[in-house]
Structure 1
Amino acid sequence: MPPFSPPDPMASEPVSDRELVSRLWAGDTAALATLYDRYASMVYTLALKMLANSTEAEDLTQEVFVNFWQRRQYNPERGSIGSYLATYTRSRAIDRLRISRGRATILQRFQRITAASSRSANPFDHATQQEQRQHLRAALDQIPPAEREVLEIAYFQGLSQSEIAAQLGIPLGTVKSRCRQGLLRLRSLLEHQRN
Structure 2
Amino acid sequence: MASQQKGENMNKEEIIKSMEKGIYYFINLYKIPQVDKEDVYQQCIVKILTSLEEFDPKKGKLDGFLMARIRGVVKEWVRKNNKKPLLVEDFYIVDENSPEKVLENGIIMEEEYQRLKMAIEKLPPMQHKVITLKYFYNLSMSEIAVFLGIHYSTVAKYHQRGLQRLRKLMK
Structure exhibiting the larger radius of gyration computed from Cα positions:
1
Q: Given the two structures, how large is their TM-score scaled by the length of structure 2?
A: 0.41
Counting helix residues as a fraction of each chain, which structure ranks higher?
A: 1
Q: Given the two structures, how large is their TM-score scaled by the length of structure 1?
A: 0.36
Structure of greater relative contact order (alpha carbons < 8 Å, 6+ residues apart) = 2
